Amino acid sequence: MTDAAELRRRTEELLAAHPPRSTDRSDFLKARFDAGLAWVHFPEGLGGLGLPRSLQAVVDAELAAAGAPDNEPRRIGIGLGMAAPTILGFGTDEQKRRFLRPLWVGEEVWCQLFSEPGAGSDLAALGTRAVRDEASGDWVVDGQKVWTSGAHNARWAILIARTDPDVPKHRGITYFVCDMTDPGVEVRPLRQITGEAEFNEVFLTGVRIPDAHRLGAVGDGWKVAQTTLMNERVSIGGSRIPREGGMIATLAKTWRERPELRTHDTHQRLLKLWVEAEVARLTGERLRQQLVAGQPGPEGSGMKLNFARLNQEITGLELELLGEDGLLYDDWTMRRPALVDFMGRDAGYRYLRAKGNSIEGGTSEVLLNIVAERVLGLPSEPRTDKDVAWKDLAR
């Protein structure tokens, strides 16, 4: 029996034992995880079967046809796209067993405590400190993080903090799992240009993290964080969409439904963006095929870079096409959404929200450097602080 046939058999057994129409949603998702059908490329016992990633589509198609519930991947995207691959790659067996199942089922939402007010694009210069309490073995964390999407809904966070200020900035960082319910964690909303506050600033004061919640070795946090960042850029810029899907769909729909708005110039620009969106979609498919063979590389940075540029150009043309109608905005009330809803809002929202695409998940300027150096092989920029201890850096 082929792997695909075996997956269909397992899926049929799952559906027979837990009919979607009569089974509690949470119970169904837990049963799916335990059957190894959550992410088939993960190891057995951790929601998978150790099979090629490409075979996940077989399971998803069978379950979708049966009307089975999904795990709301957009709501728990940070956990699925960033925390899970990092835990799988660097976590202990105990950490994998503890965190992966509730993460995938959606019982526990995750956020990412990386960026800081004083170390935005230069993430390795972060100043949040984690000091070991020798009596208990815990780490005591103090500092501030910013641009933390979903922190107001999160149960856990992936966190990087400085554990050794006496070595160069990339070497003195350690990676932790932080309990967002700790009394020392304060989450404050950051209101955006859209009016809502989907992300936050987070203050950490005397937060105690047990050493059992450290991912990787002490001082290896930058290495561990690279796994998170590469997966983050793939999840932002490389998500699977149908032909004429995503942001280009809204622009094409407006074009077809409002012929009175058309001009020769906007027609030419629409055609150009449609072609670029299709090229990006096909490139994303190729990237996902490469992921079957291993971990994501710098190609994900290129995808995320293009994703930001395209979104901003598409939403800009949509607003221009609509003219004065594009200046209308549906609601300035501050919302605290669980996810970003590009398609459920108007053109003004999409235009404003797309401005953040070139900042979140790595600024476009940083990603241009990554593509130049790691994809094209161009000389790197001079780095005068490479061998300077973090405590001696100018701030």
Question: Based on the number of CB atoms within 10 Å of its own CB, is 361 exposed (0-12), middle (13-18) or buried (19 or more)?
Answer: buried
- Beta strands 199-209 and 139-149 are antiparallel
CA neighbor of 170 nearest in space, from 353, 347, 388: 388
pLDDT of residue 317: 95
Average pLDDT in the 319-329 region?
87
Length of the chain: 395
Listed range (80-84, 234-238, 318-322) with the worst mean pLDDT = 234-238
**Does a structural domain hold residue 391?**
no
Q: How far apart are CA 286 and CA 230, in angstroms?
A: 16
Mind listing the pLDDT tens digit for each residue in 67-101? 999 999 989 999 999 999 999 999 999 999 999 99
Q: Backbone phi, then psi, for 227, in 5-degree steps?
A: -60, -45
pLDDT of residue 13: 97
Mind listing the pLDDT tens digit for each residue in 238-287? 566 778 888 899 999 999 998 898 899 999 999 999 999 999 888 877 77
pLDDT of residue 294: 58
Q: How many CA atoms lie within 13 A of 335 on its CB side?
A: 14
Which residue reads 């450097």 in tokens?
369
Domain that holds residue 7: 3-70
**Does a structural domain hold residue 385?**
no
In this structure, are residues 20 and 69 in contact, taking their beta carbons and an 8 Å threshold? yes
Mind listing the pLDDT tens digit for each residue in 195-223? 889 889 999 999 999 999 999 999 999 99
pLDDT of residue 1: 57
CA dist 266 → 64, 151, 157, 222 (Å): 38, 40, 44, 45
Residue 274 CB partners (closer than 8 Å, separation 6+): 244, 248, 252
**Does a structural domain hold residue 384?**
no
Alpha helices in 35-82 (DSSP H): 56-65, 77-78
Q: How far apart are CA 180 and CA 68, in angstroms?
A: 31
pLDDT of residue 295: 57
Residues 155 and 292 in one domain: no
Residue 303 CB partners (closer than 8 Å, separation 6+): 233, 234, 237, 238, 280, 283, 284, 287
Mind listing the pLDDT tens digit for each residue in 126-139? 999 999 999 999 99
Query: Which conformational region is residue 137 in: left (phi greater than 0), alpha (psi within -120 to 50 degrees), or beta?
Result: left
pLDDT of residue 235: 59
Mean of the per-residue pLDDT values for the chain?
90
Residues 170 and 210 in one domain: yes
| End position of a domain, from candidates 168, 186, 219 | 219
Residues 209 and 261 in one domain: no
Which sequence positions are flagged as catalytic?
232
What CATH code is carried by the domain that includes residue 116?
2.40.110.10
Q: How far apart are CA 301 and CA 323, in angstroms?
A: 34
Residues 278 and 335 in one domain: yes
In this structure, are residues 161 and 215 in contact, taking their beta carbons and an 8 Å threshold? no
| End position of a domain, from candidates 70, 99, 122 | 70
DSSP E strand boundaries for the chain: 110-113, 129-132, 139-149, 156-162, 173-179, 185-190, 199-209, 214-215
pLDDT of residue 300: 73
pLDDT of residue 24: 97
pLDDT band for 314, please (50, 70, 90 cuts): very high
Provide the terminal-to-terminal Cα distance of the chain, rounded to the nearest Å. 62
Name 173's bridge partners.
162, 220
**Does a structural domain hold residue 326?**
yes
**Does a structural domain hold residue 393?**
no
Q: How far apart are CA 297 and CA 371, in angstroms?
A: 10
Residues 251 and 321 in one domain: yes
pLDDT of residue 290: 66
Average pLDDT in the 354-362 region?
86
State yes or no: pLDDT of 301 exceeds 60.
yes
Residues 157 and 194 in one domain: yes
**Does a structural domain hold residue 181?**
yes
Residues 23 and 150 in one domain: no
**Does a structural domain hold residue 394?**
no
State yes or no: pLDDT of 162 exceeds 70.
yes
CA dist 98 → 26, 33, 83, 392 (Å): 17, 13, 13, 39
Residues 119 and 58 in one domain: no
pLDDT of residue 233: 60
Mind listing the pLDDT tens digit for each residue in 29-42? 999 999 999 999 99
Average pLDDT in the 173-183 region?
98
Residues 151 and 178 in one domain: yes
Structure tokens belonging to residue 203: 């203050």
What CATH code is carried by the domain that includes residue 242?
1.20.140.10
Residues 140 and 256 in one domain: no
pLDDT of residue 132: 98
pLDDT of residue 141: 98
Residue 359 CB partners (closer than 8 Å, separation 6+): 147
**Residue 375 DSSP one-character state:** I
**Does a structural domain hold residue 211?**
yes
- What's the domain count of the chain? 3
State yes or no: pLDDT of 366 exceeds 80.
yes
What's the pTM?
0.88
Listed range (119-123, 143-147, 210-214, 225-229) with the worst mean pLDDT = 119-123
pLDDT of residue 289: 67
Residues 209 and 230 in one domain: no
| End position of a domain, from candidates 40, 70, 100 | 70
pLDDT band for 394, please (50, 70, 90 cuts): confident
Residues 139 and 29 in one domain: no
Listed range (11-25, 224-238, 372-386) with the worst mean pLDDT = 224-238
CA torsion angle 202 150 79 288 (round to 10): -120
Helices 247-257, 299-322: inter-axial angle, 10-degree rounding: 20
